[in-house]
Structure 1
Amino acid sequence: MEFLPYFIATGILSGLLAGLFGVGGGLTTVPILALILSAQGFPEAHVMQVAIGTSLAVIALTALSSARAHHGHRAVAWKTVGALVPGLVLGALLGAWTAHGLSTVVLARIVGVGALAVALKMLLQADPRVRYQAPGRGWLTAAGTGIGWASALIGIGGGSLTVPFLRLCGYEMRQAVGTSAAAGIPIAWAGAAGFIWTGWQVQGLPAGQLGYISLPGFAAVAAASVLMAPVGARLAHRLPQIWLQRAFAALLIVIGCTMLLGIR
Structure 2
Amino acid sequence: MIGSAASPAAPELAPRAPVLALIALGLVAGFLSGLFGIGGGIIVVPALLMLGYDQRRAAGTSVAAILPPSIVGTVGYALTGHIDWIAGIALAVGVVIGAQVGSYLLARLSRPALFWSFLLFLIFSAASLWFSVPSRDDSIAITVWTVLALIGAGVVTGILSGVLGVGGGVIVVPALMFFFGASDLIAKGTSLFMMIPGSLSATLGNMRRKNVDLRGGLFVGATACLASPLGLLTATAITPLWSNIAFSVLIAAITVQLIVRNLRRR
TM-score (norm 1): 0.85
For the pair 1:142 / 2:141, whether they are aligned, the reply is no
Unaligned runs of 5+ in 2: 1-15
Structure 1 residues 217-240: Cα deviation after superposition (integer angstroms, max 9, x where no partner): 122211210111111112211122
Query: Any unmatched runs of 5+ in structure 1?
Result: 39-46, 200-211
CA distance in 2, matches of 1:126, 1:247: 15
Of 149, 164, 181 in structure 2, the residue corresponding to residue 170 of structure 1 is 181
In the TM superposition, residue 136 of structure 1 has moved relative to its aligned partner by 3.2
Deviates more, 1:250-259 or 1:152-161: 250-259
1:19 to 29, 34, 44: 34
Q: CA deviation at 1:72?
A: 0.7
Structure 2: distance between partners of 1:99 and 1:232:
30
Deviation (angstroms), 1:138: 2.3
Aligned residues: percent identity? 28
After superposition, the C-alpha distances for 1:38-57 in whole angstroms (9 at most, x for unaligned) are: 5xxxxxxxx11111111111
The 5-angstrom pairing of residues 194-205 of structure 1 reads 194-199=205-210
Decide which of 195, 201, 206 is 1:190's aligned counterpart: 201
Matched-pair contact (CA < 8 Å) for 1:109–1:260 = no
Q: Give the C-alpha shift of residue 80 in structure 1.
A: 1.3
SS of residue in 2 equivalent to 1:213: coil
Q: Name the residue aligned to 2:171.
A: 161
1:86 aligns to 2:81 (yes or no): no
Q: C-alpha displacement at 1:145, in angstroms? A: 0.6
Matched residue SS, 1:190: helix
1:125 maps to which residue?
A: 131
Q: Distance in 1 between matches of 2:21 and 2:111?
A: 21
Query: Deviations along 1:94-122, whole A, 9 cap, x unmatched?
Result: 11111111122221111111112212233
The residue that corresponds to 2:63 in the other structure is: 56
Shift of 1:2: 7.3
What is the rounded CA distance, in whole Å, between the counterparts of 2:214 and 2:196 in structure 1? 19
**Superposed CA RMSD:** 2.0
Q: In the superposition, relative to structure 1, how do residues 2 and 78 fare at CA in structure 2: closer, same or farther (>3 Å)?
A: closer
1:30 and 2:45 aligned = yes
AA at the equivalent of 2:206? F
Q: Does the CA contact (< 8 Å) of 2:134 and 2:240 recur in 1? A: no
Question: Which structure is larger by alpha-carbon Rg, 1 or 2?
Answer: 2
Q: Structure 1 pair 121/136, CA: closer, same or farther in 2 (3 Å)?
A: closer
Amino acid at match of 1:102: L
- Which range moved further: 233-242 or 68-77? 233-242
Q: Which amino acid aligns with 1:195?
A: N
> Does residue 1:6 correspond to 2:17, yes or no?
no
Tell me if structure 2 keeps the 8 A contact 1:111–1:256: no
Give the 3-state SS of the residue equivalent to 2:209 in structure 1. helix
Which residue does the alignment assign to 1:213?
212
**One-letter amino acid matched to 1:127:** V
More deviation, 22-31/3-12? 3-12
Alignment match, 1:42 = none
Which deviates further from its counterpart, 13-22 or 235-244? 235-244
Give me the TM-score of the superposition, normalised by structure 2: 0.84
Q: In the alignment, is the contact (CA less than 8 A) between 1:19 and 1:229 conserved in 2?
A: yes
Deviations 1:185-227 (A, max 9, x none): 121111111111122xxxxxxxxxxxx2213312221121011
2:122 is matched with which residue? 115
Q: Which runs of 4+ in 1 moved over 4 A?
A: none
Once the two structures are overlaid, the 10-residue window that deviates more, 82-91 or 1-10, is 1-10
Measure the CA separation in 2 of the matches of 1:161 and 1:219: 24
